[in-house]
Amino acid sequence: MTRSLNGKVAVITGAGSGMGRSMALRLAEDDAKIAIWDINGEGAEETAKMVRDAGGTALAITADCSDKDQIKAAADKTRSELGQVSILINNAGIAPFTPFLEIDEELFDRVMSINIKGPFLVTQELVPDMIAAKWGRIINITSSSVQSGSALQCHYTSSKGALLGLTKCLAMALGEHGITANMIPPGSIDTPMLRGAEIMQRPGAIEAYGKALPVGRIGTGEDIAAAAAFLA
């Protein structure tokens, strides 16, 4: 344990698998109580069990983190069972690969609803807890594609660019309350979502991605979790 979070309550959206799960396990090591919000309730419960089996405290909540009513219900349950929320990691998202001219309005709206509207609503719901405590940490998972671009992800990259802008505004708006807002922009991370992408189904595609990176390997959830623990 590098730094104790002293039982502070952390909400991590999309923590039923992938990077979210890695961050849940890592923050639990630092003595945070973890609320896992995920549309995949089975995955959320599996993550919670992993945290508990390691000696931590975790609550699994099935919720669509882009739906205001479900966000409110998840927040109420979290406060009731774990306490006021001090740490928020907006991790839930989707990352489809789609040629630009094939992105229809329905898909565009879905990406924006989950990747930027969701974090906006979740943050708005939980920030009053942090203001009351005069301490809070907001960590938004953006994407390195905001800087590099991504030919098949115009919708996804646009949504993550908006999340970058929101993060900077939150830092300015909430700093006086003892709340920090930061972002982690992952590159290629080995997650079920990445492996499930059609573009990654070619044999050796994951390994080729890794070899093209400066460190010579694809990233892991643990890499991102270490950054999240530092920021928390």
Provide the annotated active-site residues: 156
CA 126 to chain centre: 15
Backbone angles phi, psi at 197, to 5 degrees: -70, 140
DSSP β-bridge partners for residue 59? 35
